[in-house]
Homo-oligomer: A and B are copies of this chain.
């Protein structure tokens, strides 16, 4: 790791790059109605860990073995953050989770109204594909960009993230068992993380057998991420989380600790993290260290 910045510095620097790119992602020359743009910007600039876009950048560097040629990866990084952001806006709607706050701020529909929140989500979802497709103008191969567009649609669509959300809406405490919970999280959480790491290594020039390993890395990392989320909801520090603890169980959600207990949840967290790192090492990327560090960081995070 010599010569590399510390993980904290790496995360801060990359988050800043992503913020800047997100800011210029809706070109001023495009006539977007002001209130719609405001509503989209409100949620897009609400912060968060920017985990998915950072994974795109880190995966591209890991596959390429260096930091050059970051522009195309930045476009794809913004695309996945737009998908993630739209999914939060729609999930928070009264007809869905009916949440009033997100990251300590009023949710989009509380500020802009339900109709505008639906449209802001639709707008971000649609614009994400423009961001992804535009990677071609930053040096990425047209065939690779089309693979990325197809992956983004498949992994965030009806058989991916949207499917996970639909299954989640139909699940309920007392009726959902571990296989269903895993299905929900593989799609609601893992699929976008799979997209992030595979899109990154595609841009970095990975081969087909490496992609299969990275898909496994993303799947297990996503499940570990979700379990840590569930654990933090129960025993985390409210001031660090920016939300009340125990909100999941109170809202009637099925979580890992609810279903299998805290001890088994911790065991699964450690196992999924190990599985993830194993798959990553088997991919034999030129420079995987940062991705290993990110996996450890996600397992041990406190917010």
Contact = CB atoms under 8 A, between A and B. Distances in A.
Interface stretch (A153-161, A221-229, A236-244, A272-280): A153-161
A84 interface: no
Interface in A154-195: 154, 156-159, 162-163, 165-167, 169-170
Interface residues of A, number: 52
Contacts of A30: 154, 158-159
Copies of this polypeptide in the complex:
2
Given A130-B157, A133-B146, A146-B136, A123 B162 contact: yes
Interface stretch (A35-43, A62-70, A199-207, A294-302): A35-43
A100 interface: no
A246 to B, nearest CB: 24
Interface stretch (A14-22, A114-122, A211-219, A257-265): A114-122
A158 B95 contact: no
Given A143-B142, A158-B36, A153 B133 contact: yes
B95 A115 contact: yes
Contact of A32 (B127, B142, B163): B163
B142 A130 contact: no
A6 interface: no
A149 B127 contact: no
9 contacts: A30-B154, A30-B158, A32-B158, A33-B163, A118-B118, A122-B122, A126-B157, A134-B150, A136-B143
